Chains A and B, each alone.
Chain A
Amino acid sequence: MRARVFVRLKRGILDPQGTAVKRALEGLGYQEVRELRVGKVLELELEAAEPVQARGRLEEMCRRLLANPVTEDFQVEIVDEGRRPNLP
């Protein structure tokens, strides 16, 4: 099963890196960018029987290591359930 975990700085926490990237885009002529925040995507491949079970484990991984609950929010997405197609 494949999954993606998005880790982002919480709203309200200043993201100076995002501000610098936004300024660089402005320098390239992209004046339309109103806000830019930099986050992380973690791609995982894991063994799990059911997506529900996998999601529970992934959320636990986020709480224990992948995200810092003081400063970051996370979002778990199951990309591919990895089930074999039903044979005729």
Chain B
Amino acid sequence: MRFGVVIFPGTWSDCDFHFVIGEVLHQPVKYVWHRDTDLSEYDCVILPGGFSYGDYLRAGAIAGRSPVVEALGDFLAGGGFVLGSCNGFQILCEAKLLPGALLRNECLQYRCQSTFLFVENAETPFTRGLRPGQVLKMPISHGEGKYYGDAETLRILRGRNQIVFRYCTEAGEITKEANPNGSVENIAGIMNEEGTVLGLMPHPERAAESALGGTDGLLLFHSLIGSLIEDGSFLKR
């Protein structure tokens, strides 16, 4: 499966993703510059974390209107997958590829810590190797990760099973204490209606080697790679 890792001015997790995909998962991977618009050689485009355009105006606002993000519509229509982590999730919301928005953490602190994630939906291309209710451990590192959607948006997300991950305790309880940033309903990650775009605040690329504290992040990639080969869409493209 061919991956493209997008670099905006101010992106910081690009090398981590590139290393994990290329060296740990042995999949073909290339960097994509934010002005590139031809994504035809990729099966999955990654929007990594960081501070694209210095977080000017709002986190992800300027990147959300950049040439590479504008090209994602056609890329998705052609059968591609998009994964946005941290700033990448903020960019996907700003670009309206995912509903809702990410606001300043309720605690006002930048939070850099491990979190536990409750797998709400294990039927997505990114989670189909997982069990519903499985608990994953992944780090977060952000100051603006409080997911917000109005009542109608939340009703739609719940109804269509678009909530993929919620912050939980190690035992899998979804509590206020387990919520690091004040996200509504402990939401840590959501997908679009088609299941082809996943946005999450945690960093799967930083949970990909046991030497660094855990490998749960790899499960998302294994699910994605497996699913593509399984349903044949990788061969079709």
Q: Which residues of A contact B (CB under 8 A)?
A: 13-14, 16-17, 20, 64-66, 68, 70-71
Contacts and interface: CB of A to CB of B under 8 A. Distances in A.
Contacts of A70: 93, 99-101, 148-150, 153
Majority DSSP secondary structure for residues of B touching A: loop
A34 to B, nearest CB: 20
B61 A68 contact: yes
Interface residues of B, number: 21
A16 B62 CA distance: 24
B29 to A, nearest CB: 31
A71 B57 CA distance: 13
Nearest to A15: B104
Interface in B148-182: 148-150, 153, 182
Nearest to A42: B57
Contacts of A65: 57, 61-62, 65
B58 A68 contact: yes
Contacts of B182: 14, 16
A71 B101 contact: yes
Interface in B83-113: 93-94, 99-101, 103-108
